[in-house]
Structures are given as structure tokens and as C-alpha cells.
Structure 1
Amino acid sequence: MHRTLWRFFVAATLLMSSIVHASADDGAIIDRWYSALLAADRGELAELLADDVRMTLDDIGVVQTKQDFIASIDEWQGAVAGAAIRHRIEKSENGQTTVLACYDFPNNDTLMRETFTIAGGRITASTQRAVAQDCSGY
């Protein structure tokens, strides 16, 4: 009985360790994402996105493929000039990370909730929804 309990404890410890490690890796991917987004770095963004990613912009009812998203970076680059993006992870579990992000543009700001699904070190899905017209709730 004691040996069975010990094996269970070891298995549970290894599982928790792998979950914590995966969450840390996901956090690093999220940090890279916002840095690349702010810099409008097409190469880094393309590397972070899985080939079959689906990016959902809930507020405007748009779903983008990887190619759609990368093609929109030219327009984004002009919009993000002089901006800042602050983000913090609200929760991360089972490969899904929810982030509160303040997009602070030179003439306005907006608060967004963004959920990322991450597998194999890449973003496989992203959903974005506005929370507020300013970042006072950040």
C-alpha cells in the first residue's frame, strides 16, 4: 500500500511540474507575441502562429487565417506607431491562456481580453474581445 501511495505522489508531482512548465512556456510565447505585435514584426508573428491558426475578432465578427493576419500587418504597422501594449495573464491552463491587454495608441486606448490556445510552442487559436473603451480597468 505504501509503495502504491508513493508512486501516485511521484506521478502527481511530475504531472504538476509539467503543467507549471507548460504554463511558463505559454507565458513566454505570449510575451513574444505582444513584443512582435508592437514592432509589427511579420517574421516573428509568422513564427509564433501555427499554419492552421484561426484568429477570431469577436467585436467585428471576423475570423482570420494566418495569411489574412500577416497580410494585415502593413495597415497595423501604421496604427501601432507610437503606441504601447501592456498585458497581463489572467489565467493559463490546459494550453489556453487568457490575457487582459491595454492597447495604448497615441490618440486613444482600449482594453481587450484575448484568449490564446497554444500547442507545440505555437498559437493555434486566438479570440479577441473589447472590454472597455479605455484602459482605466487595467
Structure 2
Amino acid sequence: MPRSRWKVFLAAALLISSLVRASADDGAIIDRWYSALLAADRTELSELLADDVRMKLDDIGVVQTKQDFIASIDEWQSAVAGAAIRHRIERSENGETTVLACYDFPSNDTLMRE
């Protein structure tokens, strides 16, 4: 997968993960998200996303629907091969949870606050 394409997918994944709002009691939902993302599990990701979700990627001017996101999983699966994703909840307040996530790709690491 071209480097720019997996970056687009990663940006979408990061944005979507920010849409998964949970309280501290809902850490299991966040765990499900990252496990599904690492496994490129279309079924699980689809279950975690609302049908009318829109992912807005401001840095590249793209808006993705749920269907667009799920359709891009094949490319993501190639990019995430051999990778790991580590995450921890940083804080949870007012119905919003902030997660610190490290995407450990074989060729580089990316640390994100989501």
C-alpha cells in the first residue's frame, strides 16, 4: 500500500476512534475498537460504528461514510500487518474519553492522542 494511502486510512481510523465516546466504565468498547482495528475486522468495526457516521479528515479535506471506511479495510489490513497498537485511557469526563494510542508499524511508530 502506498505510504500516503495508509496515512489516509490511519487518519480516518484515528478520527473514528475519537467518535467512540465512552465513560471510564466503557473501557471495553475502546478495547474492542483497537482490537478490531488491529485485526482489520470489518464485522466488529461495522458494529462499533453508527450507520450514519461521517469521518471528516480536515488535514486532507476528505469525508468518509461508514461504507467508505469499511471498504478501505483491505488496504489497512496490508498496512497493519506486523504492527501493534498500544493504548490507554488518559481521561474520561463529560461523556468523552481521551485515549493515548501508539501505532507500532514495522517501519515506524506513531503516537496519537485520540
TM range (shorter): 0.7 to 0.9
Alpha-carbon distance change, 113 to 60 in structure 1, aligned in 2, over 3 angstroms: farther
Of structures 1 and 2, the one scoring higher in RCO (CA 8 A, sep 6+) is 2
Q: TM-score, normalised by structure 2?
A: 0.73
Q: Secondary structure at the match of 1:51?
A: coil
Matching residue of 1:100: 100
Q: Number of paired residues?
A: 93
How far off is 1:63 after superposition?
Answer: 2.6
Cα displacement string for residues 33-86 of structure 1 (whole angstroms, at most 9, x for unaligned residues) = 000000000000000111112223344333322111111101000000000000
Matching residue of 2:76: 76
Within 5 Å, which residues of 2 pair with 1:53-132?
A: 53-114=53-114
Matching residue of 2:13: none
The structure number with the bigger radius of gyration is 1
Over the matched positions of the two proteins, sequence identity in percent amounts to: 88
What stretches of structure 2 of length at least 5 have no aligned partner?
1-21
After TM superposition, the runs of 4+ consecutive aligned structure 1 residues lying more than 6 A away are none
Q: Considering only aligned residues, what root-mean-square deviation do their CA atoms show, in Å?
A: 1.7
Q: Secondary structure at the match of 1:52?
A: coil
